[in-house]
Amino acid sequence: MRAHIAWIIFRKELTETLRDRRTLFMMIGLPILLYPMMIIAVGWFQESQAETREERASTIAVWGEAPAALAHDLAAAGRLTLQPWAGVPADVREALAAGTATPPPIIAAPSGRRGRWTPAEAERENPVLRAARAAIGNRQADAVLVLWPGLERAIARGGLGTVSVYFDSVSLDSVKARDRIEDAVGAYRTRLIQQRERDAGLAEGFAVGVDVRARNVAPESRRSAELLGMLLPFILIVMSLLGGFYPAIDLTAGEKERGTMQTLMCAPLKPAEIVVGKFLTVWVMALVAALANVASLAATLGRIVPGQQLTVAPSAYVLTFLMLVPVTFIIAAVFLAVAAFARDFKDGQNFLTPIYMLLAMPATVTMLPGVQLTGATAFVPVLNIALLIKSLLLGEAPAELVFLTLTASAMYAMLAVLLAARVFQQEQVLLGGRQSFARVFGIERRADSVPSPSLVLVSYAAVLVTVFYGSLWLLRNATVLVTLLVTEYGFFLVPTLACVVLLGLSARDTLSLRLPPLRGVVAAVLIGVSAWTVAGGILIRLLPPPDSLVKALERILLLDGRAAPLWLVWLVVGVTPAICEELYFRGFVLAGLRRTGMLPALTVTAVLFGLAHSSIYRLLPTVFLGLVFGYAVWKTRSIACSMIAHALNNGLMATLVFMPAFGERLGVGTSAYLPWSLTAVGAIIMLVGLALLWSLPSRDTPRTVYKKNGPTGGGAAGPEP
């Protein structure tokens, strides 16, 4: 080998590589930018979680009678909410009261510290342990403080009293509660010892005073699930990303490089057929990678941690795999759309590498201790599914959070598929050319037109995420009144009007700004005063909401219990949503979907309206109301009818909460459901209103003219007269 020739080739290749700015950015620029951002984001997330946990008061179930001094110290301790006998079964309470319940034995640890359970006792179940585990698992308390019988008597005679703190090591809230209890009891014990040292006749145990025994109630399976939940979501998502990475590049940039993309475009195929075929290929590859990893982890789980047996139910693996379906949808669609802009395979790797890292980075958060699925994380793409998998493994996934997570993931998957479809409709992009961002996403300015379906879906995703996180922030920093007004006017009305003005849409056609016929107004009034009875009398029975949700809604309807006049409640709760939400949903959204036909347009609009309320328990009633309100607009072509019905519906429900005597006159008592008699009368009135709408003469629906390269394969040039 000639060394100087090898040196010349090395210099040549290195020079050409250094001239490739994209490669340099992937090698040097991306790590410099990404890792500090990731560390800062993770640090901020951990800090915010810790601050939230520190500010939150710990709920403590106190079982037993405490000496007056200890009770005073517990009550005076910061951020401890004491609930005597909360969550205790009758037999356990009787045993504690009768003095037959005794603390389990302990042995001294090698270091001489007390409070260490014997190995046999650590495995033994007892009624108090089972009861404490159930109370903490059902979220009745963060921790259980058991004051064993004879505590006050033992302390009074200078002996040793015993208390136990039951906590769940998997829950950091429970660990924080344990620490706070031990601090409070420790302060009491210190004063007790000091007092005994000043007294004479010291009895055995005076130097301890109170023996505090902390017991972890988390079973072995739950601790195994915690460990697995920290690793499994990250591994599965990263491997799913890798499974779709190279197929997406090969089916787009690879075909351009081989020259087969041009041949495919010349074939008698529709863009939708091409994108569906390629999308399904990438999706199946990502899904197969996920399935292979789930199966491999299930088969080798026992060897993850030497000396520790990890036990997870087979159903958890099935649910984990099902949860990966929306993630793989997002992966396949985003990879396919981004890779389509690349000109060759190397270009595709440069394009997809930052996307790969951005999608994988949220999954790393699951490896942080104490990170759980909450309302704030339910709308974070990829992270929400990773935390949902972790929650399913731990067996603590509330229905509301599962609903929000799946809703958000389905929305992101839909947008990703829509993005891929839009890109594959641009022949110039597929053939290696460039295309403007506005043209690709169909948001270019179009005079005198209605929104396209793609624009509707993109705007809905933006509005939904903004409303969710905006309202969460407002509820923590403002009153309910301010939250409602800012949400409705700032997050619904302003974006709607901005889209109409900035995109040059026809306000009359987009927002249905027409005078309603008199028969339509009468129908809207009848529907407005009756539709809530059908929703509350029938649909609520199918999926009853929990008491916490009912109380939260009542608090909102009463403007947080403030002494507000009824007219203000009607203005904020009735009229404001009727204007803002109707202009967006039955105006902007329905106008964009009108071309699909009455049934699809009304159904999709109603479902989007129901999902926007972010509650699985309110989904059926809100979808039903959305269908009825949408039908009123469809038949009258006037947004005023749905506004009237919406305002009356909300206003009457607020009046029932605001004026209980009015509800009693209507036959609405303390029951959680409306009586069948009122439901039947309301259903008859609503049917009369719908019949009036049905009897209205059909109005001609404007037919939209499309131009080539418009928003759904063409841009709406405006309705024909």
Tell me: pLDDT of 153 over 80: yes
Is-contact 468 379, C-beta < 8 A? yes
Q: Give the single-character DSSP code of 436.
A: -
Query: Distances in Å between the alpha carbon of 351 and those of 33, 36, 94, 375?
Result: 16, 21, 68, 32
Tell me: pLDDT of 665 over 90: no
Give the three-state DSSP class for 47. helix
Is residue 591 assigned to a domain? yes
Helix (H) / strand (E) containing 451: none
Residue pointed to by tokens 């829950």 = 171
Based on the fold, state whether residues 230 and 195 are members of the same structural domain: no
End-to-end CA separation in angstroms for the chain:
80
Is residue 237 assigned to a domain? yes
Name the band, by pLDDT with cuts 50, 70 and 90, for residue 116: very low
Give the three-state DSSP class for 162. strand
Is residue 305 assigned to a domain? yes
Summarised one tens digit per residue, pLDDT across range 238-271 is 888 888 888 888 888 888 888 777 777 777 777 7
Give the three-state DSSP class for 267. coil
Name the band, by pLDDT with cuts 50, 70 and 90, for residue 120: very low
Question: Assign residue 495 a region: left if phi > 0, alpha if psi is -120 to 50, beta otherwise?
Answer: alpha
- What does the block give as tokens for 115? 């409070």
Whole-angstrom distance, CA of residue 105 vs CA of residue 117 = 7
Based on the fold, state whether residues 392 and 267 are members of the same structural domain: yes
Higher per-residue confidence, 371 vs 131: 131
Whole-angstrom distance, CA of residue 699 vs CA of residue 638 = 11
Residues linked to residue 60 through DSSP beta bridges, in sequence order:
82, 143
Based on the fold, state whether residues 65 and 41 are members of the same structural domain: no
Is residue 572 assigned to a domain? yes
* pLDDT (average), residues 671-688: 83
pLDDT of 201: 61
pLDDT of 46: 63
Tell me: pLDDT of 588 over 90: yes
* Alpha carbon of residue 363 to chain centroid: 15
Q: Domain count for the chain, please give it.
A: 4
The torsion angles phi and psi of 176, rounded to 5 degrees, stand at -60, -40
Tell me: pLDDT of 348 over 90: no
Based on the fold, state whether residues 518 and 421 are members of the same structural domain: no
Whole-angstrom distance, CA of residue 613 vs CA of residue 140 = 27
Q: Which alpha helices (DSSP H) does 446-490 contain, by range?
A: 453-477, 480-485
Whole-angstrom distance, CA of residue 595 vs CA of residue 601 = 8
Based on the fold, state whether residues 165 and 289 are members of the same structural domain: no
- 106-107 and 116-117: which strand pairing? antiparallel
pLDDT of 442: 57
Question: Which of these three, 173, 194, 218, is where a domain ends?
Answer: 218
Residue 609 sits at the vertex; the CA angle it makes with 606 and 610, to the nearest 5 degrees, is 90
Based on the fold, state whether residues 400 and 310 are members of the same structural domain: yes
Is residue 442 assigned to a domain? no
Based on the fold, state whether residues 580 and 708 are members of the same structural domain: yes
Residues linked to residue 83 through DSSP beta bridges, in sequence order:
61
Name the band, by pLDDT with cuts 50, 70 and 90, for residue 147: confident
The torsion angles phi and psi of 522, rounded to 5 degrees, stand at -60, -45
Q: Which alpha helices (DSSP H) does 163-313 contain, by range?
A: 172-198, 220-249, 255-258, 260-266, 271-299
- Mean pLDDT in the chain? 78
DSSP string, 104-158: PPEE--TTS-S-EEPHHHHH---HHHHHHHHHHHTTS-SEEEEE-TTHHHHHHTT
pLDDT of 450: 85
Sort 402 into a burial class: Cβ within 10 Å, 0-12 / 13-18 / 19+: middle
Whole-angstrom distance, CA of residue 211 vs CA of residue 107 = 13
All residues at 6 or more sequence positions from 371 whose CB lies less than 8 Å from its CB, including other chains = 45, 49, 365, 377, 387
pLDDT of 48: 67
Name the band, by pLDDT with cuts 50, 70 and 90, for residue 81: confident
Is residue 12 assigned to a domain? no
Residue 55 exposure: Cα atoms within 13 Å on the Cβ side = 7
Whole-angstrom distance, CA of residue 651 vs CA of residue 569 = 8
Based on the fold, state whether residues 158 and 239 are members of the same structural domain: no
Helix (H) / strand (E) containing 212: strand 210-216
Question: What torsion, rounded to 10 degrees, do the Cα atoms 186, 192, 193, 194 define?
Answer: 110
pLDDT of 669: 55
Q: Give the single-character DSSP code of 718.
A: E
Is residue 441 assigned to a domain? no
3-state secondary structure 246-264: HHHHHHHHHHHHHCHHHHH
* pLDDT (average), residues 305-321: 63
Tell me: pLDDT of 110 over 50: no
Based on the fold, state whether residues 203 and 252 are members of the same structural domain: no
pLDDT of 325: 84
Is-contact 415 457, C-beta < 8 A? yes
Tell me: pLDDT of 511 over 60: yes
Whole-angstrom distance, CA of residue 587 vs CA of residue 629 = 11
Least confident of 39-43, 334-338, 627-631: 39-43
Least confident of 62-66, 205-209, 458-462, 546-550: 205-209
Query: Distances in Å between the alpha carbon of 64 and those of 75, 147, 187?
Result: 15, 5, 20
Is residue 455 assigned to a domain? no
Based on the fold, state whether residues 40 and 65 are members of the same structural domain: no
- What does the block give as tokens for 388? 């949902």
Summarised one tens digit per residue, pLDDT across range 381-424 is 888 888 888 888 777 777 778 888 888 888 888 888 887 877 77
Question: Which of these three, 55, 79, 102, is where a domain ends?
Answer: 55
Helix axes 383-394, 314-339, angle to 10 degrees: 170
Question: What torsion, rounded to 10 degrees, do the Cα atoms 214, 74, 143, 374 define?
Answer: -130
Is-contact 614 528, C-beta < 8 A? no
**Which residue segment(s) compose the domain that 389 sits in?**
222-435
All residues at 6 or more sequence positions from 531 whose CB lies less than 8 Å from its CB, including other chains = 624, 625, 628, 645, 649, 682, 686
* pLDDT (average), residues 129-156: 85
Most confident of 118-127, 210-219, 305-314: 210-219
Give the three-state DSSP class for 444. coil
Tell me: pLDDT of 124 over 80: no
3-state secondary structure 582-634: HHHHHHHHHHHHHHHCHHHHHHHHHHHHHHCCCCCCCHHHHHHHHHHHHHHHH
Return the closest-CA partner of residue 289 out of 250, 327, 337: 327
Tell me: pLDDT of 290 over 60: yes
Whole-angstrom distance, CA of residue 602 vs CA of residue 144 = 51
All residues at 6 or more sequence positions from 17 whose CB lies less than 8 Å from its CB, including other chains = 23
* Alpha carbon of residue 465 to chain centroid: 10
Summarised one tens digit per residue, pLDDT across range 169-214 is 877 788 888 888 888 888 888 888 777 777 756 665 566 667 677 7
Based on the fold, state whether residues 423 and 368 are members of the same structural domain: yes
Helix (H) / strand (E) containing 504: none
Residue pointed to by tokens 């130097």 = 207
pLDDT of 704: 43
Is-contact 513 458, C-beta < 8 A? no
Based on the fold, state whether residues 625 and 638 are members of the same structural domain: yes
The amino acid at 468: F
- Looking up residue 170, the CATH number of its domain turns out to be 3.40.1710
Least confident of 437-451, 535-549, 646-660: 437-451
pLDDT of 520: 92
Tell me: pLDDT of 313 over 70: no
Helix (H) / strand (E) containing 652: helix 639-658
* pLDDT (average), residues 650-658: 83
**Which sign, positive or negative, has the C-alpha torsion 693, 696, 697, 703?**
negative
* Alpha carbon of residue 630 to chain centroid: 27
Question: Which of these three, 172, 202, 218, is where a domain ends?
Answer: 218
Name the band, by pLDDT with cuts 50, 70 and 90, for residue 35: low
Tell me: pLDDT of 122 over 60: no
Q: Give the single-character DSSP code of 717.
A: E
